[in-house]
Amino acid sequence: MVFVPALLSNVHIAIADPGTQSIAGDVKDDRPDDADSVSGDNSTATTSISAQARAWASTSGFNLAGFEDYTASAAHTPTASDISAFEKWMSGGSNPRNQVLKEIQSLAGEEIASELWNYCNTIWKNWMNTANVGSAVSNASNLKNVGAMQEGMFAGYFGSLISNSNQGEYGNAATLIKDGFVVSSDGVTYRLHNISDGTIAYEMTAPESENVSEDKFPDGLVKFTDFLPLEKQDVTQKAKSLLKQYATAGNVNEPSGVDRAVYQAAQQYINEKFGDYYGQCPGPTVVKGIQALGIKLDSVTEDSVGSSVGEKEFVASFFGVDSAAGQLWRLGFLPSFDGTTYRLHSGKDGTVVFEINKNNLDSITDEASASSSPYIIATVSMILLVGIVILVAIWKKKRSATVS
């Protein structure tokens, strides 16, 4: 969820690698703790883990030595296997962070998963500071991509160390890192770097991107900001009901039978425009709203929250895929989930306007039931009133007969 500045007026680039970010004229030293992207890595260094986390890793087959004892080999030429893994990894076009996070959380629980992720990520950033991949790319082409690509590599390697994980999916990242390589992309060229010193060991031309005119976007997409309030609005019963549906929804359903280039360009467009209006992407917006409550989020939870806003569902809604998250966006609310609490956010500061613990979701009355309640009450009241009138009439009639 990185905000990417528009490259051409009214033309958007459908990039084969959606994790790619290109920024010209960079002069900073792109160390992971000083990433000059909109969503730079601000996570706190974690230099130790608890005995419980270490014990879980030991008994569950999670090989901490893969990080703790790792030493990058001296700069060298990649083998055919390395190049094959490099090509396959770059063609995947995705960051498995969320998938890996869910996997480790389901296996170890949220607390231990967070410890292990932060601890290993701190070690990883030390490697990247040594490799200084960002500056190597900048010096080579005056373009860069650091955060998104390296986060994906970290997630892939981390995932490969989880017991019983899908080696086929994460294995390419693991192959490269074990052999001392890490990847980068500037949107034009894919590069394979030696971790030991950041030197470029191999490179290849990135697949050509396709220019997509806004004229090809679905109806309403270019005006979606019309229903995103910059000022906080009060939560409605309908929004609460949709939040409940969002909480119980399954995996994201992407549209089928649509032009993939148009769909990817639409994703980029919505992210850009949201950033124009709100000053940041949807994920950081809701994180900001939660932090305003005085709640501190560790990096794992912050990642999860930022990925839970329903951005993909909203984009898909313009391509005919209905969802509760997409409807919430259209009402002016962003949903979020931090592992225990569901929230609705509104306004450019991501203000929390409603929150509920996941165990209390059943207390939310469905909109249809809530909207029908006044009518039910009115009907029951009318029946009672009529009954009272009849009873009074009968009583008067009996009393009159007795007096007579």
The closest of 95, 176, 66 to 131, measured between CA atoms, is 176
- Tens of pLDDT along the chain (404 residues) come to 333 333 333 444 443 433 333 333 333 344 444 443 333 444 557 889 999 999 999 999 999 999 999 999 999 999 999 999 999 998 876 678 878 888 888 899 888 998 999 899 889 888 887 777 666 665 655 554 444 577 889 999 999 998 666 667 799 999 999 999 998 877 678 889 899 888 889 999 887 666 888 889 999 999 999 888 899 999 999 999 999 999 988 667 678 888 888 888 898 889 889 988 898 889 889 999 999 999 988 777 887 888 889 998 999 999 999 999 999 999 999 999 988 999 999 999 999 999 999 999 999 987 644 444 455 556 666 677 766 767 767 766 666 666 55
Burial class of 202 by CB neighbour count within 10 A (0 to 12, 13 to 18, 19+): middle
Nearest to 362 by CA among 252, 243, 250, 251: 243
What is the domain partition of the chain in residue ranges?
A: 17-207, 213-363, 375-404
- Per-residue CA distances from 315 to 197, 218, 265, 275, 349 (Å): 40, 10, 10, 15, 21
State how far Cα 15 lies from the chain centre. 19
Q: Quick one: the chain helix, strand, coil %, rounded to 5?
A: 55, 10, 35
- For 292, residues 6+ apart whose C-beta sits below 8 A from its C-beta are 349, 350, 351, 352
Q: What is the pTM of this model?
A: 0.61
